[in-house]
Amino acid sequence: MNQPLLEMQDVKISFTTSTGVVEAVRGVDLSIYPGQSVAIVGESGSGKSTTAMAILGLLPGTGRVTGGRILFEGQDITHFNDKQFEALRGNRIGLVPQDPMSNLNPVWRIGTQIDESLRANHVVKGSEHHHRVVELLEEAGLPDAERRAKQYPHEFSGGMRQRALIAMGLAARPKLLIADEPTSALDVTVQKTILDHLDTLTAELGNAVLFITHDLGLAAERAEHLIVMHRGRIVESGPSREILRDPQHPYTRRLVTAAPSLASSRIRAAHEAGLETAKHVAATADGEKPQETVISVKNLCKEFDIRGQRGEKKVLKAVDDVSFDLHRGTTLALVGESGSGKSTVANMVLNLLEPTSGTISYEGQDTSNLSRKQLFDLRRKMQVVF
């Protein structure tokens, strides 16, 4: 425990561009000990992900370490070649990448991709591969893992893809797990499951975890040690509680001040305004003029056929009898955990998916009966932010 598992000493990272050399990371110093959890916190572009990728030898494009040293288990890995980094990755240092959309192969089944991690790192015997794949998906919080392993990435929600990446990152039981925004696509219930599991690994196996996140709340809750980065530099570093209690740098103070989420503020305000809301609902019921309905969804259902399954397991009911109205001048939120059917409902409202049953009306007109020209006109009136 006296020797750090990972040590970065005055590390500088630069990128060569058409306008010259850009220094993205400037003199980073950090240490991670076996069993320790450390979080690097900072806004987008602060250099936190670049710092993490340097540890794995995965700097993109023209990125390279131009100064300092990176030591893993006492060995200088700063200028390892590709073959040396390949022996290190997965087996000794695992990665949960940030973007589940671009980090899974769209033409391979999820189980096959996790199995590839097991084979590459020679973790289990060939006969045990399938059992271990299912076990890893269950550990990552994916229900019905046996069936899900046979599906393709496009059949998963964003959060489910993120869990598959977590399963791959943990496949070889690495000594250090780098988790780059590991729960960005997950709802809070699954987020807790995943992070609890990482805590268990750290405690039982002596794994260390390096979180890369912009979420100070997550970092403070899950990491013993916080490192705050801003514009390529570490501006503050120390035990999580100390930094939260008494932040020294102006940027850290801004992060701490902004940490209570907008959602928390609104929930608190909603409780305080509960009585007024009840009065408003009663007034509407007593004959106040109702608002104009823009979108009306009635008894919406969507079923998908599951490839390679038979009987009851062949059909996945993604949306089951959903009804709601959206009134002009109002905001409506569909809330639920990953895989609950939120995005599927939205895609049906947008006419990007065809409902199995039920109706969707826009300003009183059933959208399933629209001609191509009418649908084109509708596209101007209904926009999506993916």
Q: Average pLDDT per run of 10 along the chain, which is 386 residues long?
A: 88 93 93 93 90 94 94 95 91 86 89 91 82 90 88 86 87 91 74 77 80 86 92 94 89 80 57 57 54 93 82 84 94 87 93 94 91 90 87
Q: Give the amino acid at 278.
A: A
Model confidence, pTM: 0.73
| DSSP one-letter code for 132 | H
Token duo for residue 77 = 């890995």
Q: In terms of Cα–Cα distance, which of 232, 339, 354, 356 is closest to 301?
A: 356
- Separation CA 3–CA 1 (nearest Å): 5
- Separation CA 100–CA 182 (nearest Å): 10
Q: Report phi then psi at 97, rounded to 5.
A: -75, 170
Q: How far is C-alpha 293 from the chain's CA centre?
A: 34
- Separation CA 170–CA 168 (nearest Å): 5
Same fold: 6-261 with 293-381 = yes
Strands 176-180 and 93-96: parallel
pLDDT, tens digit (0-9, with 9 covering 90-100), for 154-212: 888 877 888 898 888 888 889 999 999 887 767 777 777 778 877 876 777 778 999 99
Three-state SS letters, 272-291:
HCHHHHHHHHHHHHCCCCCC
Q: Strand, helix or coil at 368?
A: helix
- Separation CA 58–CA 70 (nearest Å): 14
Calculate the alpha carbon distances from 167 to 19, 38, 337 in Å.
41, 20, 19
DSSP H helices in the chain: 48-56, 82-88, 110-120, 129-139, 145-148, 158-170, 188-205, 216-222, 240-245, 250-258, 262-272, 274-285, 342-349, 372-381
pLDDT for 110 equals 94
What residues contact residue 22 under an 8 Å CB cut-off, 6+ apart? 14, 15, 16
Residue 353 burial (CB count, 10 A)? 17
pLDDT for 262 equals 43
pLDDT for 185 equals 65
Burial status of residue 266 (CB atoms within 10 A of its CB: 0-12, 13-18, 19 or more): exposed
- Separation CA 264–CA 201 (nearest Å): 30
User: Long-range contacts made by residues 313-321, C-beta under 8 angstroms, separation at least 24?
Assistant: 313/147, 318/344, 319/344, 319/345, 319/348, 319/355, 321/358
What residues contact residue 304 under an 8 Å CB cut-off, 6+ apart? 155, 315, 316, 318
Burial status of residue 264 (CB atoms within 10 A of its CB: 0-12, 13-18, 19 or more): exposed
Domain boundaries, the chain: 6-261, 293-381
> Do residues 48 and 229 lie in contact, with contact meaning Cβ atoms separated by under 8 Å?
yes
CATH class of segment(s) 6-261: alpha beta
Q: Give the amino acid at 217.
A: G
CATH superfamily of 293-381: P-loop containing nucleotide triphosphate hydrolases (3.40.50.300)
